[in-house]
Amino acid sequence: MSKIVGIDLGTTNSLVAYMDGKEPKVIADREGRTLVPSVISVDEQGWIVGARAQRRLMTHPQSTVYSVKRLMGKGLADAQEERKYFPVSLTEKQPGIIQVELGPYRLTPPELSALILKEVKHRAEEFLETTVTQAVITVPAYFNDSQRQATKDAGRIAGLDVLRIVNEPTAACLAYGLQKKKQGVIAVYDLGGGTFDISILKVKEGIFEVLATNGNTHLGGDDLDQRLMELVLQEIRVEFGQDLQRDVEAVQQIRLGMEKAKRQLSTEEVTEVVIPLKQGVVYRRSLKRGELESRVRDLIDLTIGPCRQALEDAHLSLKDVDEVVLVGGATRMPLVHRLVQEFFQKAPHSELNPDEVVALGAAVQADILAGGIQNMLLLDVTPLSLGIETMGGVMSVLIPRNSTIPTNAKELFTTFVDGQRSVDVHVYQGERELVQDNRSLARFQLKDLDPLPAGLPRIEVHFTIDANGILHVSAKDLRSGRDQTIEVKPSYGLSDDEVARMIEESFKFAKSDMEARLLIEARNEAATILRHTERALKQGEPLIALDERDRIRDRITALKKATEGDDHRLIRERIEQLDKITVHLAECLMDSTLQSGLKDKKLSELP
């Protein structure tokens, strides 16, 4: 039976979780790693996702991309701030559709995100030993309609039926079990890799109602890394006379080095930064936590304004907040913890792993949808106002921001020209008075109106937002009964046909994609086993007979030859044969180690 899983599709890392009885658990890989770095690379063998792709950032930066979530639901004009994070080239297939150039490929952000989703889907299927076709996926609370639709499209391309798009702060509350509170107000402070969100929720008898949300989709851990990277580039320019700003490989090496230093300074007061550069030059310096905090303090301060605004929108004061929850990897920084505590005047919850808390909550929501938990209800809000363009380019709001969803609204409009036979319905999202300052989502025409004098027709426009925060719009001429309905497909632009083509291709190439994956995994395992076996054989050569040594070498040669081919089954077979023939060698090495450890020791000295 197919399981519904919860997925945190993150800017920096992605995770998948499931309900194990009554407890949500994050699914780890065979090495025990729960995080899948949200990094995608491509080589001559195909797509690489996760840790291996992350390692290629330093060696193949122009065929590797990270932080794709920053591009979701955006056109090139919207992504100017994000371009500094990408060593790869960004282009537009057509207005509003970003394409990322990776080697010979040009993919949209939803297509790239689908590769990450396929990776976590495969991990879940391998662990649960069943097919996974349904998921709950989380998004930042401040994601607009375009970004939510892009996330749903990514799921569809990955072969997932996305049952619900859930706001990350709401998911965090579920993970903390705050639904067990009888009632109270919770502030969720979420500082992740690419975005910042603040949500104010009210809990009463198992009902979660989001009262207000605010945030910054251009602020996250990536920005802190960028600030530190700029410091290092400047110091290298002064100390070594090297301007590495345009050296893509060096820039990525510095970025990864400073990201590591930032993480270390969350638990240590000082760390040593060592970054090898070209021509044998090594950049080396110690970095103190205080210096890091002074460099990024202004960025962290930017999160306080949205916190104030969210409380104001919820018509609450600081003393009304009962609990504060920290979410997102960047909240590990002691500076963030201090500032949040100072602002809200109470110690925030930080007991759960901030990287995992959202995925855990998504698993709880998945269980609610599956009928496992029946005494809970989530009431999210739409983060931005939705409306249409009226005469003079004015934004007429039908659904104000922070309206509880699902919701709907309708309003009557009329014509402005005598004999007008059609009406353009242009849908916008934003908070400005004029549509030119807001974001265009979609437009359509209501045609074949009766040619009446201006002001006589009555045209009803109906907005409906579903539980995922996706907008549907209809327009109806009340006189004739003619109507036109559209599910708003945001102008970032994947059409139904394009999504259908991608899904069809994912099925068409599913077998070959899986074969390629299995081959890569088998080769990786073989390389590890060969390395360990050759080292063990060299160490244990005097301990075994000559003919046994020769048989092991023959099996090593056979495995190496198999890895040169494309048959992953043959590689697995050769691995198994090598494992069996080296059992005696391993026993001899163990005996030798024990004898060496016991040599010249008295019985009384043994533990």
For the annotated catalytic residues, the residue numbers are 8, 69, 168, 190
Measured over the CA atoms of residue 548, residue 552, residue 553 and residue 558, the dihedral's sign is: positive
CA distance 315 to 75: 35
Q: How many residues does the chain have?
A: 607
Q: What's the alpha-carbon Rg for the chain, to the nearest Å?
A: 28
Pairwise CA distance, residues 314 & 244, whole Å: 47
Q: Using an 8 Å Cβ cutoff, are 388 and 399 in contact? A: no
AA letter at 531: R
Residue closest to 359 by CA, chosen among 145, 185, 157, 135: 135
Query: What is the distance between the alpha carbons of residues 441 and 428, in angstroms, rounded to a whole number?
Result: 5
Please list the residues that pair with 408 across neighbouring strands.
464
Please say whether the beta carbons of 43 and 34 come within 8 A.
no
Which H helix or E strand runs over 292?
A: helix 289-301
The span from the CA of 175 to the CA of 191, in Å, is: 17
Q: Which residues of 236-266 are buried (b: 16+ CB within 10 A; e: fewer)?
A: beeeeebebeebbbbbbbbbbbbbebbebbb
234: number of Cβ within 10 Å: 12
Q: Are 399 and 386 in contact (CB under 8 A)?
A: yes
Tokens (6 digits) for 516:
């390629």
Query: What does the H/E/C string look like for 348-404?
Result: CECCCCCCCHHHHHHHHHHHHHCCCCCCCEEEEECCCCEEEEECCCEEEEEECCCCE
The span from the CA of 138 to the CA of 116, in Å, is 14
d(CA 277, CA 181) in angstroms, rounded, equals 54
Q: Which residues of 310-346 are buried (b: 16+ CB within 10 A; e: fewer)?
A: bbebbebeeeebebbbbbbbbbbbebbbebbeebbee
549 close to 541: Cβ distance less than 8 angstroms: yes
Instruction: Report the C-alpha gap between 120 and 563 in whole angstroms.
Output: 26
For residue 424, how many C-alpha atoms fall within 13 Å in the half-sphere facing its CB? 11
C-alpha 422/C-alpha 180 separation (Å) is 53
Long-range contacts of 283-292 (CB under 8 A, 24+ apart): 283/232, 283/235, 283/236, 283/239, 283/240, 283/254, 285/235, 287/261, 289/265, 289/334, 292/228, 292/261, 292/262, 292/265
Positions of E strands within 414-453:
423-429, 439-446
